[in-house]
Structure 1
Amino acid sequence: MKLSNSFFFTVFSIFTLILLIVCCKEEIEMEEVEGKASYYARRFDGKKTASGEVFENQELTAAHRSLPFDTEVEVVNPENGKSVTVRINDRGPFRRGRIIDLSRAAARELGMLDSGIIDVIIRYPKVVEVDEGN
């Protein structure tokens, strides 16, 4: 059975592509911040956020004072090891010591609905520019 040159070219191309992906994969350095998290009251459901979108408590979103909108942030509850990834779509919280305000859905994932405020660790890509103006 004779294999064509195009078969070898295809196999070689796939192998080269896989090799490039594996060798050139750049690891993103993460920023890690510790602080307190709270979550939105039900009365904010349906209200407009600082980004202009409508807040929905069942979505995995959050407010942060300075991270750009649409930044994905991992939030970890060190008490129970649970974590959730949220998207920043609002500004806040504006209470001393709090670093993030979570939707109710995100708070549920972290197991914090009963306590209301917990210690958390947040992680986000270090390459994200923090907006100090907000």
Structure 2
Amino acid sequence: MMEGSLDKSRPSRYFGTAAPLNLRVILNFDATEHDLRQIFSFYGHVIHTNVLRDADGKSTGSGFVTFRVTDEADFAIMSMHDRYNMGREKPLQVSYCRRSERISPFGYEHAMKLREKNTTNPPPPQPTSS
């Protein structure tokens, strides 16, 4: 069973032309969609949140956050991944749901710095504007 929190205050055009970006979050088992929206809204406009649940309705410890633009998603990843605990021993794990050729200049710069440290990392695609 999956539940979600959809921001209905924004026009549906965000689901087509603006190509929203989905992040996967490994989180506290007690976290709700509201918690995700509250935390991640600091980094940009959150369109949708979702906490995965098992058949009994209990959280599986992972969820999704959808941002409006690439820069906002990059900002959330760089700020939250492996840094914010959300009431658990381990920090949150925040990443893109799937590989995307879209990357912001900020994300490109960060990926290049990581590649300098580990040359086995593939080069990132050229940045695009949001």
Which of the five TM-score ranges fits, normalised by the shorter chain? under 0.3
Q: Which has the larger radius of gyration?
A: 1
TM-score by length of 1: 0.24
TM-score by length of 2: 0.24
Higher helix share: 2
- Greater relative contact order (Cα 8 A, min sep 6): structure 1 or 2? 1
